[in-house]
Amino acid sequence: MSEARLESVTPEAAPAFPPGIAYMNGRFMPMEDAKISVLDWGFLRSDATYDVVHVWKGRFFRLDKHLDRFIRSVEKIRLALPVSREELTRILAECVERSGHEDAYVEMIVTRGVSPTFSRDPRDAVNKLICFAIPFGWILRPEEREDGLHIAISDITRIPPHSVDPTVKNYHWLDLVMGMYEAYERGARTALLKDDEGHVTEGPGFNIFAVKEGKVTTPDRGVLEGITRQTAIDLCGELGFPLSEEPVSADALRMADEVFATSTAGGIMPVTTLDGQPVASGKAGPVTRQLIDLYWKKHDEPGWSVSVEEVLRQAV
Ligand code: PLP
């Protein structure tokens, strides 16, 4: 490493933390004070599960669904949530309230934790809960929606579901991150990975959908059961679009009339090119546009969203 390069990693040059509030070790703290031990299995082995819910204009969107998935994930990988569901709900709301963010990205994590003797037995580790609220982050900002997502279909195979269960939201992201670098080299913005049978799976932080002749399809296996994916499925039902969860080949995606991606970090996002080739006309299609409109409308509706204030009121 050259000297200039070394200089550039001095603490002064380190990026600032996004403003926010975290909760760990039983107390709330500014984001920059939320630190874990390097001996935490979460850090050393990616041994953790997490979930991300967003708050939009002071309201959590589909909070119960995120909590259900998180608690299921914790149980599936033999962790224990150190607080009750009700306490967790209050902690998340309090992180948001204390942060002052109206639009927030709210993460909850349980790591395997540290084992006091550094034993190699995961049962000796003390599981750790970490929550935080920082400003809302976008995969695709609203002003970029017209341009849409440019995706490269990666040559890297997604970790198979019989190795790491993708329905447990996890930090096994090296395949996805390497896919992103590959995508940048190919002039795309992000990547989509296939399984070992050549079906498309998911990308870094999003699920994928195709629309062909009015019918909507999304991969039925090898993916995180995204809450936004489920929301898109629910909204297709409301709008009367036929939908099927089934294997989707890369070719089917390339031949689609519309392609869109779904994520808590950005909602429903038009995909306008695949491997540099336009999807149909290369513009967001009518099905995608209707879904995006309805998705954001639901953010004010009770039943789909709940205000942070209301959550805190119910907690006392
Ligand atoms: N797939 C992966 C691998 C993810 O990490 C995520 C979200 O981070 C998603 C899909 C989308 O899930 P959700 O809609 O719940 O944000």
**Same-domain status, 121 and 180:** no
Task: Please list, in sequence order, all residues whose beta carbon lies within 8 angstroms of the beta carbon of residue 127, skipping any fewer than 6 positions away.
Answer: 79, 80, 81, 82, 110, 111, 112, 113
User: Domain containing 110: what range?
Assistant: 21-135
Check 169, 194, 283, 298 and give the catalytic one. Answer: 169
pLDDT at 106: 98
The tokens of 168 are what?
Answer: 């447990």
Are 113 and 42 within 8 A, CB to CB?
yes
**Same-domain status, 117 and 194:** no
pLDDT at 161: 97
Q: How far is the CA of 3 from the centre of ligand 1 (A)?
A: 39
Q: How far is the CA of 51 from the centre of ligand 1 (A)?
A: 9
Strand partners, 161: none
**Same-domain status, 292 and 175:** yes
Query: Tens digit of pLDDT for each residue in 87-138?
Result: 999 999 999 999 999 999 999 999 999 999 999 999 999 999 999 999 999 9
Q: How far is the CA of 122 from the centre of ligand 1 (A)?
A: 26
Q: Is 279 inside any structural domain?
A: yes
Chosen domain end from 103, 135, 167? 135
In order of 37, 82, 292, the CA distances from 314 in angstroms are 34, 21, 31
Terminal C-alpha separation, the chain: 55
pLDDT at 175: 98
Amino acid letter for position 198: G
Q: Is residue 76 among the annotated active site residues? A: no
**Closest C-alpha among 185, 189, 220 to residue 204:** 189
Residue 238 reports pLDDT greater than 80: yes
What residue owns the CA closest to ligand 1's atom 7? 205
**Ligand 1 atom closest to Cα of residue 264:** 16
What mean pLDDT do residues 240-261 have?
Answer: 98
The tokens of 87 are what?
Answer: 């306490």
**Closest C-alpha among 114, 132, 136, 110 to residue 34:** 132
CB atoms within 10 A of CB 174: 11
pLDDT at 3: 38
| Share of the chain residues as helix, strand and coil, in percent rounded to the nearest 5 | 35, 30, 35
Find tokens 């002071």 and name the residue: 58
The CA-based angle 309-87-316, given to 5 degrees, is 45
Q: Is 96 inside any structural domain?
A: yes
Burial of 178 (0-12, 13-18, 19+ CB in 10 A): middle
* DSSP structure class, residue 102: S
Q: Which residues line ligand 1 (CB under 6 A)?
A: 52, 202, 205-207, 224, 226-229, 262-264
**Same-domain status, 87 and 50:** yes
Residue 1 reports pLDDT greater than 50: no
pTM of the model: 0.94
Find how far residue 192's CA is from the centre of its chain.
Answer: 14
Query: Tens digit of pLDDT for each residue in 198-222?
Result: 999 999 999 999 999 999 999 999 9
pLDDT at 14: 58
What's the CATH code of the domain at 172?
3.20.10.10
Residue 11 reports pLDDT greater than 80: no
Q: How far is the CA of 232 from the centre of ligand 1 (A)?
A: 13
Q: How many domains does the chain have?
A: 2
**Same-domain status, 130 and 150:** no
Question: Per-residue confidence at 16, pLDDT binned at 50, 70, 90?
Answer: confident
Are 208 and 218 within 8 A, CB to CB?
yes
pLDDT at 6: 45
Question: Per-residue confidence at 171, pLDDT binned at 50, 70, 90?
Answer: very high
What's the CATH code of the domain at 31?
3.30.470.10
| Averaged pLDDT of the chain | 95
What mean pLDDT do residues 172-196 have?
Answer: 98
Chosen domain end from 108, 135, 162? 135
**Same-domain status, 62 and 199:** no
Which of 49, 149, 164, 206 for mutating ligand 1's site (highest number of atoms within 8 Å of CB)? 206
In order of 59, 76, 89, the CA distances from 210 in angstroms are 30, 30, 34
Task: Please list, in sequence order, all residues whose beta carbon lies within 8 angstroms of the beta carbon of residue 92, skipping any fewer than 6 positions away.
Answer: 53, 60, 63, 106, 108, 131, 133, 311
**Same-domain status, 199 and 174:** yes
What residue owns the CA closest to ligand 1's atom 8? 205
**Ligand 1 atom closest to Cα of residue 228:** 14
Q: Is 15 inside any structural domain?
A: no
pLDDT at 15: 58
Of the chain, the percentage scoring pLDDT greater than 70 comes to 95
**Same-domain status, 153 and 273:** yes
Question: Per-residue confidence at 10, pLDDT binned at 50, 70, 90?
Answer: low
Find how far residue 188's CA is from the centre of its chain.
Answer: 20
Task: Please list, in sequence order, all residues whose beta carbon lies within 8 angstroms of the beta carbon of residue 100, skipping any fewer than 6 positions away.
Answer: none
The tokens of 3 are what?
Answer: 């000297």
Higher pLDDT, 129 or 7: 129
